[in-house]
Structure 1
Amino acid sequence: MGAYLLTRTWHSLLTIVLSSMVIFAGVRMLPGDPALAMAGEEASPERIAAVRADLGLDQALWVQYATWVRNYVHGDFGRSLRTGTPVTELLGSTLPVTLWLAAYALVIAVVVGLALGVIAERRRGRWPELLANGVAMVGLSVPSFWLGLLAILYLSVRLSLFPASGYVPMLENPLDAIYHLTLPALILSLAIAAAVMRQTRASMIETMGSDFVRTARAKGLGGRRVLLAYGLRNSLLVVVTIVGLQLGGLISGAVVTESIFGLPGFGKLTLNSVFTRDYPVIEAVVVIITVGYVLINLAVDVLYSVLDPRIRVAGAA
């Protein structure tokens, strides 16, 4: 187990280092001059040169990269070119909003997806399976922004069940915060719940028809125990894969969802930074998303080894 974790951790660190090089070079290749954007269109050449020297843009690229990495390791992400605010403050005020929204949406997606997948497998050919497939089809095919607008129109404006916009910090009033996040989280979770449902159903159909399940039933094990201990547990490998792959999609989906529901989150910050060409914020956003992807994949690998020891043994070989 130790060798397996060490190998996966080394691969993750190598991926982060290589990704940081790509991010650094990619942002430097974007059109526009950060020094000009910070100094202003009417600034003199001397002023622009001074700003460029202050930002370190007059140094060699390898020196800029080394300084950039050192600053990031120490938690210094620079300042916003648009507002002059430290990027860490912007991230500190927006990232918790998206993390709470993503966590809430993920819980909804896993619970609903697993439940619908089990129901669809247990009630094959009946109306529960047709209903579950219909819900999954809507979640996979209908754009989230359209569902969000419909949800605001009917559930917020007409029925007044949920607020149409606004955010309450989770630590200030947890119940009110959950109430405000419920509708955005439902919209954000639909696509993931649909994918989890379909994969759970397919995996359970294959597992429940396998030889070891028939052997367990022949030994006298009850139907519920066979379902939970064999069918659902073996399906969790597929669910872990889907969740790991879709977690990154929560961030991209949050850009649209947060804009529709007026949430001051990470996605909205990303969108505004791209529109205004706020390069330090863009760099920090991409780095955080990249590191998040790598850590999620590492966690998925570890969960694989816990759920199926054969993967751990093969990985360590």
Structure 2
Amino acid sequence: MKLLITGGLGFIGSNFILKLLEKFPDYQITNLDDELYGSNHQNVLQVKNLNNYEFVKGNITDNSIVEKLVSKVDIVINFAAESHVDRSISNAKPFIDSNILGVFTILENIKKYKKKLVHISTDEVFGSLESESASEDYKLNPSSPYASSKASAELLINSYFKTYDCEVIITRCTNNYGPRQFPEKLIPKTIIRAELDKSIPVYGTGKNIRDWIFVDDHCSAIEMIIHKGTEGESYNISASNEIDNITIIEKILSFLGKPLDLINFVDDRPGHDFRYSLDSSKIRSLGWKPKTSFEEGIKKTIEWYQKNKLWWNDIDRNILTETPWK
């Protein structure tokens, strides 16, 4: 099988490439990435010299590049996206460009060359939920410009299925964590700032709830959907680990032996969703289930950042300032 992975130098995309080539060493993978702030070539060092792996620098909004690559593969898996809520609040345009126009560019070529698309979306398209968990047909109700751009992409993808009979599948996942995650996100930023004995900024009371999944489990779900998913369908992916932010921070500080007084509560951000939750019974009916408990996953994650300080030492230190996170 020949696959085009977009955004493959980022967190989830790079982990997916590593896991897929480990399990299917005969697959051919082309990694299209524009080398923006969240991209890191160190993420794919172990495969970069393989004969069945190729890196191409480029943006998914560039039709000439996308058309050339799509025409040569069997399936496109679109990880490429602007994904940080705070950045979308400050400037929404990059999110419109990448998350909507970029998806449009891919769809036009999927239609033209009759290829398959698996699009990676997010639980944030459903907005904040008080108590229930969103199934695949739950109403879209995004809060932030980021979430709205992802919801818009979903609507566009569905229209290409209904109007042009394109072979498309949407996946939505809860909050990922694990090795190689860019340090502007909650868990890596907390680990790194704690390692540096710097204060940990927390929005509001820190009681906002997210459902956390270890990145390897997300990757295994995507792999199953590639092989067993039904075109025109969407699949929610979750691990049933609903935990509030302050509890996660306290767990990390405890593991590292750091004092709780590193925690610094700051003013909440505009439109901050309180809780996300997904019902993932549909993909579980295909035989998938998460294998990594949160306690095991957070331990693996902390140890990875401790062992790979050269990886995060190369990151722009402005990312590690006292600005909270998604």
Whichever structure has more helix as a proportion of its residues is 1
Whichever structure has more strand as a proportion of its residues is 2
TM-score normalised to structure 2 length: 0.23
Q: Which has the larger radius of gyration?
A: 1
TM-score normalised to structure 1 length: 0.24
